[in-house]
Amino acid sequence: MPVKPVARIESSEELNMCGIVGTVGKADATPILLEGLSRLEYRGYDSAGVAVVQDGKLCVEKAKGRLDNLRGRLKERPLGGTLGIGHTRWATHGEPSDVNSHPHTDVKGEIAVVHNGIIENYAQLKRFLEREGCAFVSSTDTEVIAHLINYYDKGDIRRAIEQALHRIEGSYALGIICQREPDTLYCVRKDSPLVVGLGEEQQFIASDIPAILSHTRDVYFLNDREIAVLKADGVAVYDAYGRRRTDLQPFHVDWDVASAEKGGYPHFMLKEIMEEPRALSETLRSHVDLTSLTIQQEGMPDAEEARALERVFIVACGTAYHAGVVGKYALEQLTGLSVTVDIASEYRYRPQKLGKGDLFLVISQSGETADTLAALREAKRQGAKVAAITNVVGSSVAREADRVLYTWAGPEIAVASTKAYITQLLLLTLLGVDLALKRGEMDEKAARELLREMQALPEKAQKTVETHERMQRFAARHFDLRHVFYIGRGMDWALAMEASLKLKEISYIFSEAYAAGELKHGTIALIEPGTLVVALCTQSALLEKMRSNIKEVRARGASVLCVQRESDGKAEADIADKTWFIPDAPDLLMPMLAVIPMQLLAYYMAVSKGCDVDKPRNLAKSVTVE
């Protein structure tokens, strides 16, 4: 049966990287914090911590690893007090470690902060604060916030928070406590989710509803730049201009815990597809200075190395491998370099001789895939410098690679990879632009133009995910098919491979991806009346050829779903049975938009068949054995 997604809840749709919980009231804070953090465990994390004001003193306890490690420490050194904040960290700036775990404190150890998001100008702020005499203890971006609030603190914490926020660029959800105010919890957000839970004599904050659902079902979704001041008997919310809001409209949550974890969506996979626009913008923001439209250099090969390059090897598994195949087209087109893409389980038994002019790049969402790691180690054994694209800071791939480009997709929970793939494509394109610039294959004007187009992608992706209900109706009419073919040329063929994998892994419908020009060399024999052929037609130069291929398969009775850009007009609408229009972008960027309807198609086919979408049979999220 098709499942209708639940109403859109803005804050839950956004990327959830770290988990935040906070409380103030009559009850002991620590048990509430630990319970809340355990409700957020499903999203993945690498360390956890709490801060509580105990007998007028701010006390912090934190530990790398599972929440049980933190529980163990709190058993040895219990923290009592009715004001506290807690955090599960998904490492972004700095390795997972005790010291990098949140909460972070100011120099005096009187203000504690938990943070979800990215402070883009943290390096500048850190330099400024160091000049002012602040000694930093962690390598996180968050620590600057605690120091900055202290810097502006002249007795009014809310004012100090406002002033600090004026200096901060980036995204944040913050929980803040101060030892001289043991009855007040502050929080604020911008582009990162934060919800305030409203109770009788106890108030709460959380990055996601499940963390506080056992205490209250009445919540207020903070708007960007609003500051909430929580005390036992109530909550005051101030807008960005410091004016108190009197028109708060709390939301009553009637979901159970399981659907709350999914932000109200029936499955993590749909939630993660809906998060793609934001995953794209976070990844872009982290790798590009969007004011000057220049690429940040962290993780990129230096100019000398880029100029000396002769070959690129990309090695990965599954969806990450498919990202690599799209990346091959992008890199070859942008840089003129020859790019070889290999499945890691194949590469490890036929390693190539690598030399100085080679860039060896592995791609892995989890950073723990055994075959990818083995290929990485083999390349290093041969003396190659290895670059990695991964979503998990501190993962084995991240630790062992010589340089790392992080995707900022946030934790991916559904077994079928979606938002990680789209951000891998973005990074591969950025790498191509960076190399092309350094090798003189592209001038700065052209690079800026392409980066500007990339900046427009999240909005276009948003428009595309919003078509999901139409795809649900399409899938409801086709889910009983026995097989589906995907065809495309160039980058569309590379994308067809991923579209086909998505469908087969979650709906168990047999499907194949073919280079459209190859059909007539054998495969077209399989086309019979009623066969569904999905034709990806987003590459301008190959459009005419694809039109011929569509005619060929329709002449044999196939029913064709054609995916094409809006500007290519209605031609396919006349020759295909159904045309799916997607927003326009340069050819190089089209896979990042065209993949969305493909993921939605797979998702709704699987849902229509009643499959266990998030945990398909025989599959695991992370394949850590050969």
User: Residues with catalytic annotation?
Assistant: 18, 621
| DSSP string for residues in 252-270 | E----HHHHHTTT-S-HHH
Interface pick for ligand F6R out of 317, 534, 536, 596 (rule CB under 6 A): 317
Distance CA 25, CA 184 (A): 9
Our finding on whether 623 is near ligand F6R (CB under 6 A) is: yes
Judge whether 10 and 188 are in contact, CB under 8 Å.
Answer: no
Our finding on whether 276 is near ligand F6R (CB under 6 A) is: no
- Of residues 398-427, which lie at the interface with ligand F6R (CB under 6 A)? 416-417
The site that binds ligand F6R (CB under 6 A) totals a number of residues, namely 14
Distance CA 167, CA 122 (A): 10
Comparison of 229 and 611: residue with beta carbon closer to ligand F6R:
611
205 beta partners: 22, 196
Stretch of 10-18, 151-159, 301-309, 361-369 contacting ligand F6R, by CB under 6 A: 361-369
Our finding on whether 395 is near ligand F6R (CB under 6 A) is: no
Q: For the CA atoms of 18, 461, 281, 322, what is the dihedral angle to 10 degrees?
A: 80
- Of residues 127-146, which lie at the interface with ligand F6R (CB under 6 A)? none
CA distances from 617 to 434, 444, 496 (A): 40, 48, 22
Comparison of 74 and 405: residue with beta carbon closer to ligand F6R:
405
Interface pick for ligand F6R out of 11, 16, 369, 507 (rule CB under 6 A): 369
Stretch of 167-175, 362-370, 510-518, 575-583 contacting ligand F6R, by CB under 6 A: 362-370
Stretch of 110-118, 169-177, 318-326, 328-336 contacting ligand F6R, by CB under 6 A: 318-326
CB atoms within 10 A of CB 32: 25
Distance CA 45, CA 101 (A): 10
Distance CA 338, CA 358 (A): 10
DSSP 8-state symbol, 330: H
Stretch of 139-147, 288-296, 313-321, 444-452 contacting ligand F6R, by CB under 6 A: 313-321
Which residue has the CB atom at the shortest distance from ligand F6R? 318
Comparison of 33 and 595: residue with beta carbon closer to ligand F6R:
595
Comparison of 217 and 419: residue with beta carbon closer to ligand F6R:
419
- Of residues 499-518, which lie at the interface with ligand F6R (CB under 6 A)? 505
Interface pick for ligand F6R out of 33, 320, 339, 534 (rule CB under 6 A): 320
Least separation in angstroms between residue 420's CB and ligand F6R is 7
Backbone angles phi, psi at 488, to 5 degrees: -170, 170
User: 360: number of CA atoms within 13 Å, CB side?
Assistant: 27
Within its chain, how far is the Cα of 398 from the centroid? 16
Comparison of 308 and 370: residue with beta carbon closer to ligand F6R:
370
Stretch of 311-319, 471-479, 581-589, 592-600 contacting ligand F6R, by CB under 6 A: 311-319
Interface pick for ligand F6R out of 318, 324, 490, 597 (rule CB under 6 A): 318
User: 206: number of CA atoms within 13 Å, CB side?
Assistant: 30
Cα dihedral 300, 305, 309, 314 sign? negative
The residues that touch ligand F6R, with contacts defined as CB under 6 A, are 317-320, 364-366, 369, 372, 416-417, 505, 622-623
